[in-house]
A and B are shown apart, each in its own frame.
Chain A
């Protein structure tokens, strides 16, 4: 019927007679081995103290593989291998030849893309659609980009003599395992350094496959070493005296510990830590696209994104309409089996993380914010969290200040430009922000005054190897990507 009865608010019906059938990706191409050793000096080596830990699929809780735990002796072996490779071979190789090795890695990643994407989804819980279309291609592209810099460093630093640092110790997080490994390894190699990298405990598999690819590319032994293990292994790596540089992506809490550990040493450090990104919607924003940008900003990758737009600041004059549209959009988000091609929001990475998110949800409710949860179905097993909105959140709420790292959006309103700039900046974090408005002059005003390392105007969560990424304040220091991404790995004189 064309018209609604008088008095009944128009509503859209989201449950449909036409439901999408399961569209599962096959797990077979992942070819995950039952057991993985450490990759040191170009060889797969058993850990000195024979310890292994299990990595599981957070969507099903099934065990995927046994992975070696690197002890102090293994860390030492790896660093020594990296040091030898650096001194005897890598630092002497011409930039052009270094670049060609890195091109090879990029190419092979492209060729093995499907295997890598499926592995990433199984190990970490993110939707196959994201691994396939974002994580893996972007990771390969980082290698392509930095391969091209290897023989061009003289142009990147005017009037400076450029030299490499030596051995880089790198620690990557579980939210974008392969991509973060690419962000670390590619610039390090391009600038002539060698690497010892420790991937996150819950997601080691794609980094281990990257080690296979590195072997396939015939990279000289010891140039890249992968040591798996828990946080403890990472600590040992940061403490090793024969390392020239540490790069860490992870929580602000651990970042501070590492920074303290390095005090008194001459090790260079870059940190890429947490965030509490403010996504700011002005009343003249392109509303429907802004809704999409907000959704993408907080629910992409289950909200496990350091630069997530976890604080929504919406101008009060359009708040009601905007929130109603957000809720409509939430209704079509699909939470479920990450291996299903139609899944938008996959599994939470670990039981621990799920508990943490749930505790913040309780805090939010206790603080008096208005709670809204998507009505989607959640699988019975595995670690899942539906997308959640908290509105009527105050600047002083804990959920508006602390990083939740999950699919939880906090909505606050504002009235003037100055007010929202002040509130957006009112945080120890400073990684990212979003600005939605039709007015160019306002965009540039905000990009000038927001204290964040990445500002997205009329878009969100866009990444490109040529674009520098990194934070202000407690979100860390140093940049990854672009020309600025070379700085952390060179010595200038």
Chain B
């Protein structure tokens, strides 16, 4: 570098927990390298305690997030899309640094923005499709509605650092859940940068928490954590998934492997993915019928 060139200030990548950017409490990091083998950043190697803190943050945020109107959640997801679109240059450069071609990076960002808008539109509509008024035989008003499952752990795929992340994240929070996400281990940077987007999109702290680190370590702690209600993975090895299923059985976790879904196509988004992370609640209430006139027609 010559004497007249300006020295760049490199970004430090931390975690995103409870709306803040703390470092890992373990003090450990690992080198993130580009395809040429050069270290481009040191990402946090999250610990079990980081996961614990993230789950606490997600649990705390759950009451508020789940009780927001679908319209409000939709507005926030739409704003996330706006923020991402306006930062596409930043994200493209980062994807390229992590090994993507420019055209692939552009495509991935475009699809990510569009997917966020897709789910923004579902927030106040899936309820109409998946609820029902059930015509029970007795004189009762009976209705079934979906409700968010709770705190969901998401294991983002290794490839598609941005689109893969959103494809799991968006249906999860669109349905009112809060989440702890494990970013791609090899390409974690886009996830942490995406946290900046969340920050500027009015997403309440704790709704989305992002950890980076060792997939093996973190997924095993996730599957054993008693206060995580569900786990979603995509592009995960069968053995690894089986181990998660085994451990997850201890708290009757809802477990979903979205490996058959092609995230790069229109198949990669669907309201049924929202519904995977919903419970169905059915309520009964008497309808009184005063003796006398029967039909009002």
Contacts and interface: CB of A to CB of B under 8 A. Distances in A.
B78 interface: yes
Contacts of B70: 466
Given A451-B297, A466-B125, A148 B289 contact: no
Interface string A88-112: 0000000010011001000000000
Interface stretch (B112-120, B160-168, B189-197, B209-217): B112-120
B288 A99 contact: no
Contacts of A425: 296
Contact of B121 (A141, A147, A450): A147
A449 interface: yes
A172 B293 CA distance: 40
A445 interface: yes
Nearest to A482: B128
B86 to A, nearest CB: 13
Contacts of B293: 418, 421-422
| Most interface-central of B114, B121, B124 (chain A CB within 10 A) | B121
Interface residues of B toward A: which range? 20 to 34
A416 B288 CA distance: 14
A152 B122 contact: yes
Interface in A137-179: 141, 144-145, 147-152, 155-156
Given A418-B290, A442-B288, A450 B74 contact: no
A25 to B, nearest CB: 26
B282 to A, nearest CB: 16
A144 B297 CA distance: 37
B71 A445 contact: no
Interface in B251-293: 271, 285-290, 292-293
A305 B271 CA distance: 36
Contacts of A144: 71, 74-75, 78
A444 B287 contact: yes
Nearest to A97: B114
Contacts of B124: 145, 148, 465-466
B129 interface: yes
A444 B290 contact: no
A156 B288 contact: no
A449 B129 contact: no
B233 to A, nearest CB: 25
A376 interface: no
B75 A155 contact: no
B112 to A, nearest CB: 13
A440 B286 contact: yes
A96 B296 contact: no
Given A144-B75, A440-B285, A99 B128 contact: no
Contacts of A147: 121
Contact of B118 (A145, A151, A439, A464): A151
A448 interface: yes
A8 interface: no
Contacts, number: 81
B214 to A, nearest CB: 37
Contacts of B125: 145, 148-149, 152, 466, 483
A156 B117 CA distance: 18
B121 A151 contact: yes
The dominant DSSP class at the A interface is helix
Contacts of B287: 441, 444-445, 448
A422 B285 contact: no
Nearest to B115: A96
A13 B68 CA distance: 41
Interface string A398-429: 00000000000000000011100110010000
Nearest to A439: B288
A145 B122 CA distance: 9
Nearest to B70: A466
B289 A100 contact: no
A198 B265 CA distance: 41
| Most interface-central of B70, B123, B287 (chain A CB within 10 A) | B287
Given A144-B74, A148-B74, A418-B292, A441 B121 contact: no
Interface in B9-53: none
Contacts of A100: 117
A103 B290 contact: no
A297 to B, nearest CB: 22
Interface in A453-493: 464-466, 482-483
A269 B286 CA distance: 38
A155 B129 contact: yes
Contact of A99 (B117, B285, B286, B296): B117
A114 to B, nearest CB: 19
Given A422-B296, A445-B290, A148 B121 contact: yes
A141 B71 contact: yes
A444 B285 contact: yes
A466 B122 CA distance: 11
Contacts of A440: 285-286
Contact of A444 (B114, B128, B288, B296): B288
Nearest to A146: B121
Nearest to A99: B121
A149 B121 contact: yes
A416 B291 CA distance: 11
A421 B74 CA distance: 39
Contacts of B129: 155-156, 483
Contacts of B128: 466, 482-483
Contacts of B74: 144, 148
Nearest to A148: B121
A149 B290 CA distance: 42
Nearest to B290: A417
Contacts of A464: 71
Nearest to A467: B128
Contacts of A422: 293, 296
Given A148-B74, A148-B125, A149-B121, A450 B296 contact: yes
A415 B233 CA distance: 62
Given A141-B71, A422-B296, A152 B121 contact: yes
Contacts of B71: 141, 144-145, 464-466
Contacts of A483: 125, 128-129
A224 B236 CA distance: 48
Interface of B: 70-71, 74-75, 78, 114, 117-118, 120-125, 128-129, 141, 271, 285-290, 292-293, 296-297
21 contacts: A99-B121, A147-B121, A148-B122, A148-B125, A151-B118, A152-B121, A152-B122, A152-B271, A418-B290, A421-B293, A421-B296, A439-B288, A441-B288, A442-B288, A444-B141, A444-B285, A449-B296, A464-B71, A466-B70, A466-B124, A466-B125
Closest 7 CB pairs of A and B: A148-B121, A441-B288, A444-B287, A449-B296, A441-B286, A444-B141, A483-B128
Interface of A: 96, 99-100, 103, 141, 144-145, 147-152, 155-156, 416-418, 421-422, 425, 439-442, 444-445, 448-451, 464-466, 482-483
